[in-house]
Each structure stands twice: as structure tokens, then as C-alpha cells.
Amino acid sequence: MMLLLYTHIHIAKEHTRKTPQKMLFSRQILFQGFKGKKAQFYIFTALILIAYTATLLRPQQLMMPPSKVFAEVNGNFAREGKEVINNALFEQANVSREYTRFVDRFVAYAMLRGIDLEVFSILVDGGQIHISNRLKKDASLLGRSEIIGVGGELTIPKNVTVLTINAPADVQHPNIYAFNITSERTQVMSFTRVQVRENNKVFVNT
């Protein structure tokens, strides 16, 4: 009986004693846990720096002068409009329809940028001239009887070399724009307008 009890205790002690291999494994776990916490600290620090940088940049974008924002928006409009026309020609799609869709979508996009954009566009496609008025006032063709209302469109034959548009910003200030119609099969021209601090800023794209 005594021998059995001693043997049981001896075995229990043997099981609870840590071997060098087990101690080394425990140290590895502790070291890996330390590395994991260190990595989490670096990630957390990086996220804080990114958020801080974004906070610094945001006011600079909001403080950008309206005229500079308008210039950027107009540049995008002129460049992307030509891309839309080139894609339509390549895919043999209806060029005037695709371009008109683009203009409407871009005006909506500009509104999201805080720009109440006005656009008047002229698209020469083969033997026709497509005119689109996305201004806030009616526009007219000088020397002709046609009037293009707000949101309206007009298609005329390509039998002129100069197209002169009267697009008043208000009753007292008529604005005249002249566009040369060349022999090119496809030609796009436009002017964009926006009111900035009680003044009208205009870009003419030819």
C-alpha cells in the first residue's frame, strides 16, 4: 500500500515538472504575443497618422477658391466630352445623343462639387449641327429666328461658317459668343458659365 502511494505521488510530480522543451515553447509563445502586440501598436499608430493627415488636407480642399474649382471642373468637362465623342464614333453610336447624355450627367456631377454649372454646347456631326442649352436663360442664334429655351435642344443643317449665340446672363447683360464651323466632320464647342460672388465666370471651349 505504501509503495503504491509513493509511486502515485512520484508520477504526479513527474507530470507537473516542466521540461526544458516546454519552457522554451512557453517563451516562444510569450515572444510571439509580444510581437503581435507590437504590430498592433504600429498599425494603430499608422491609422491615427492617416486620419490626422486627412483632417489637415480636408480644410485646404474646402478653402479652394470657387474660381479655381470652376477652372478644374471646366477642364474635366472639355477633356471628358472629347473622350465621349471619340468612344461614340468608335462604337458607331449616336454621337449627339451620347454627348447630350454626358452633358446632363456632368452638370449633375458639378452640382455635387458645389458648382451650379451652366453649359451651352455645339456639336457638329456630319452635315448637322446639334445645339444644347443647359443655361438658366433662353439663348438665341443671331441672324436666325431660332430660340433655344432652357434645357432645350436644336438641330440645324451645317450650312454656316460662323454660329453666333446670344446667351444673356440676365436682361441687362447680353453675352455674345461666336463659334467657327470648320470643314471637319466632327467638331465640338461649348462655353461653361457659373456665378461666383455676384460675378459670372465663363470658359469658352473650342
Tell me which residue of 74, 158, 76, 93 sits closest to 122, measured CA to CA.
158
Instruction: Tell me the residue type at 30.
Output: L
Torsion angle of the four alpha carbons 156, 200, 63, 75, in this order, in degrees rounded to the nearest 10: 30
| Helix or strand (DSSP H, E) at 154 | strand 153-157
Instruction: Decide if pLDDT at 38 tops 70.
Output: no
| Helix or strand (DSSP H, E) at 15 | helix 2-16
For 10, 58, 111, 160, the CA distances from 192, given in Å and listed in that order, are: 94, 27, 13, 23
- Rounded to an integer, the average pLDDT of 27-42 is 54
Greater model confidence, 53 or 73: 73
Reported as a single tens digit per residue, the pLDDT across 146-203 is 899 999 999 999 999 999 999 987 656 668 999 999 999 999 999 999 876 656 678 8
* Every domain of the chain and the residues it spans: 2-62, 66-205
